[in-house]
């Protein structure tokens, strides 16, 4: 059986590829990061920078997170159910129109919510260079 010390010694001997080292420093919140444009180490996470701005700062609008798109799934579901109810009660064309309208509204709203979530994730992951104002 191999003693545990030889296992840890082998691990320390292993050379860490540079790409892995970069991703490790990024996951620690940007410690030791440089701006890709001007090579300045004066880099901050965009969301932390934005939260630290005073309320009257004009930069709050410039670097604000994307506007939230609220999920309207209950309205879309209610419109679809009302449409089905109207169609069953006799006004078939009107009922189908309301039901299809509810489904289309739901699909468009869902796409908007997904887009917002992607933009918010990008914003939260972005870094701001305090030397050249570059975002990356
Ligand atoms: Zn820069």
Distance 63 CA to ligand 1 centre (A): 16
Length of the chain: 136
For residue 109, tell me if it sits in a domain: yes
Structural domain contains residue 49: yes
pLDDT recorded at residue 106: 97
Q: Are residues 47 and 72 in the same domain?
A: no
Does 81 share its domain with 110?
A: yes
Query: 115 C-alpha to center of ligand 1: Å?
Result: 28
Verify that 45 and 74 share a domain, yes or no.
Answer: no
134 inside domain? no
Instruction: Check residue 33 and give its pLDDT.
Output: 86
Task: Compute the distance from residue 134 Cα to the ligand 1 centre, in Å.
Answer: 5
d(CA 89, CA 26) in angstroms, rounded, equals: 60
If one counts the domains in the chain, the total is 2
Predicted pLDDT of residue 113: 97
Rounded to the nearest angstrom, the distance between the alpha carbon of 45 and the centre of ligand 1 is 13
| Ligand 1 center to 131 CA (angstroms) | 5
Give distance in angstroms: CA of 48 to centre of ligand 1. Answer: 17
Per-residue pLDDT 10s for the chain (136 aa) are: 444 444 444 444 445 444 444 444 444 444 568 999 999 999 999 999 999 999 999 999 999 999 999 999 999 999 999 999 999 999 999 999 999 999 999 999 999 999 999 999 999 999 999 999 999 9
* Ligand 1: centre distance to CA 49 (Å): 15
For residues 69 and 119, state if they share a domain. yes
Question: In angstroms, what is the span from residue 41 Cα to ligand 1's centroid?
Answer: 8
Q: Taking the CA atoms of the chain, what radius of gyration do you get in angstroms? A: 26
Q: What is the extent of the structural domain holding 50?
A: 16-56
pLDDT recorded at residue 122:
96
Identify the pLDDT of residue 92.
Answer: 93
Instruction: State the pLDDT at residue 31.
Output: 55
Claim to verify: residue 39 and residue 83 sit in the same structural domain: no
Could you give the CA distance from residue 61 to residue 53 in angstroms, rounded to a whole number? 10
């Amino acid at each position: 059986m191999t003693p545990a010390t030889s296992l840890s010694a082998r691990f320390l001997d292993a050379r860490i590829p540079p790409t892995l080292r970069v991703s490790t420093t990024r996951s620690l919140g940007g410690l030791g990061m440089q701006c890709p444009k001007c090579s300045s180490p004066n880099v901050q996470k965009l969301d932390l920078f934005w939260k630290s701005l005073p309320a009257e700062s004009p930069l709050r609008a410039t670097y604000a997170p994307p506007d939230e798109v609220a999920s309207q799934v209950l309205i879309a579901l209610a419109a679809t159910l009302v449409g089905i109810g109207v169609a069953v009660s006799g006004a078939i064309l009107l009922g189908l129109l309301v039901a299809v309208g509810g489904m289309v509204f739901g699909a468009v709203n869902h796409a908007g919510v997904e887009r917002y979530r992607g933009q918010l994730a990008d914003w939260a992951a972005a870094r701001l260079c305090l030397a050249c104002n570059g975002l990356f």
